[in-house]
Amino acid sequence: MSLINVTNLTFAYDGSYDNIFENVSFQIDTDWKLGFTGRNGRGKTTFLNLLLGKYEYSGKISAKVNFEYFPFEVKNREINTIDVIEEICPDYVHWEVMRELSLLEVSDDVLYRPFSTLSNGEQTKVLLAALFLKENSFLLIDEPTNHLDMNARQIVSDYLKSKHGFILVSHDRAFLDNCVDHILSINKTNIEIQRGNFSSWWANKELQDNFELAENEKLKKDIQRLASAAKR
């Protein structure tokens, strides 16, 4: 176990006057299974790219692990799948590859077929298997369900449930509920982390939203009452 420390992170794209993040600070335990949520455009992919070192920023991100991003780019899809895995993870151990494919319910005969001949679902599973061969890495998993049917989603969700040490971006609430133990959410003014799955985070968010609405209504009534008193 180690910690990823984000301290006073501030970032805006070149030419923009609006910060995506402003003085954001929090910690991530590298053993967590972290679901990542927030409205489109709030900065989920941007934050992953900041972890990967793709942009300049102010503040500090410190970690004793490497970051690996999924999906990997496969430049040559005509080579055998085992060679694709070797390009991603050159020091792989064959029995570990077999183990991961078995957990994902992928037949080992795909290893000796051109990667391009695999179905989209098989390709996704193979790349996930390669991802989890990486040691001393914190994994950034971006929308893994895009090419999966319902059965494959359940298999992949159960697979991730058995793992740890990742951030998972997904719009599939049931998928998140099954395989994460913390939620990282990008809100209008901050980033927060809560223990639990998506449903527990959503329930807490609704409670907070309703509380804020009630407080706003109370404030409006107090303003109206004071204005009426002033007129009198």
Q: What is the pLDDT of residue 227?
A: 67
Position 118, amino acid:
L
Q: What is the pLDDT of residue 49?
A: 93
Q: How many helices (H) and strands (E) does the chain have?
A: 7, 9
Q: What is the pLDDT of residue 215?
A: 63
Domain boundaries, the chain: 1-65+136-232, 67-135
Give every CB contact of residue 25 below 8 A, 6+ residues apart in sequence: 6, 7, 8, 9, 59
Per-residue pLDDT of the chain (232 residues; tens, 9 = 90+): 799 999 999 998 888 878 888 899 999 999 999 999 887 777 888 999 999 999 999 999 999 999 999 999 999 999 999 999 999 999 999 999 999 999 999 999 999 999 999 999 999 999 999 999 998 899 999 999 988 999 999 999 999 999 999 999 998 999 999 999 999 988 766 788 999 988 887 777 666 666 566 566 667 766 776 766 667 6
The pair of three-digit structure tokens given for residue 106, joined into one six-digit string: 């992928």
Q: What is the pLDDT of residue 217?
A: 64
What is the CATH number assigned to the segment(s) 1-65+136-232?
A: 3.40.50.300
Q: What is the pLDDT of residue 3?
A: 94
pTM score, two decimals?
0.83
